Amino acid sequence: MKILIILAHPEEKSFNAAMFNTAVRTLEKEGHEVKTTNLYKENYHPVSGKQNFTRLKNPDYFKQQDEELFALQHATLMPDIVAEQEKIEWCEIMIWQFPLYWFSVPAILKGWIDKVFTMGKLYDNGKIFSNGFSAGKTAMLSVTTGGPEKNYVEDRYGEIHSILFPIHRGILEFLGFTVLQPEIIYSVERLTDDERETALQNWSERLTNLEKETVEKLG
């Protein structure tokens, strides 16, 4: 299968980087085609705005979605954004690897979302959820947390699925992706080396069966 993995972590020796490297290695070994975007390594500029475009339809009043629609006809989207869109169009499965920051994705990944998921191309009137351009693809979040699992309950931080709901429903399912169960490694800094090693092995095992999991989920 064609699999795109996005990494949002600033440290190449981090546990997130280890999860990312494990995923690339395992999936390639399984015979999948893998493309990646390593946001920090690529020094990704995350601020979305006028600079998303090579020229503007209306320089007097910037409206991003209007410019995105204009860009479809006039090819005014910046080449780096187009390149990311092409990877999304290419892939059958998309995985995001990131540490939970303030109950959400790191800003660099949020910026990637704001810039890359353009109107007319990734979603449009009536082209959302099961009619979305990404219908038939699957997506999965692979997330590490600082907080321990016992804190991710209703009367404390809230359930992890509630915290991830805006990403699952408001972004991925909105675009048409079918969302797989997230991979969550809680409290990663407080695990022992052995526990972290086991987490990486479990991740690798899960990815070995990713095609089966995807096919089952898509029904």
Query: Which among 27-35, 121-129, 189-197, 205-213 is the span making contact with ligand FAD, rule CB under 6 A?
Result: 189-197
Q: Which residue is nearest to ligand FAD (CB)?
A: 146
Q: Take residue 106 and report the two structure tokens written for it.
A: 């790191």
160 contact partners, CB below 8 Å, separation of at least 6: 143, 145, 152, 182, 184
The verdict on 120 binding ligand FAD (CB under 6 A) reads no
Buried b / exposed e over 176-195, threshold 16 CB at 10 Å, is: bbbbbebbbbbbbeebeeee
Q: Which residues contact 15 (CB under 8 A, 6 or more apart)?
A: 144, 185, 188, 196
- Quote the CA–CA distance of 130 and 178 in Å, as a whole number: 9
Query: With contacts defined by CB under 6 A, how many residues of the chain interact with ligand FAD?
Result: 21
| Phi, then psi, of 106 in degrees rounded to 5 | -60, 150
What minimum distance in Å lies between the beta carbon of 54 and ligand FAD? 33
Nearer to ligand FAD, 18 or 23 (CB): 18
Of 11, 28, 149, 205, the one binding ligand FAD by CB under 6 A: 11
| 103 counts as binding ligand FAD under rule CB under 6 A | yes
Q: Could you say whether residue 196 binds ligand FAD (CB under 6 A)?
A: yes
Residues 168 and 9: their CA atoms lie apart, in Å, by: 20
Q: Which of residues 135-174 bind ligand FAD (CB under 6 A)?
A: 144-147
State the binding string over 18-57 for ligand FAD (x if CB under 6 A, else -): x---------------------------------------
**H or E element: which one contains 97?**
strand 93-99
Interacting residue ranges for ligand FAD, rule: CB under 6 A: 9, 11, 14-16, 18, 99-103, 144-147, 188-189, 193, 196-197, 200
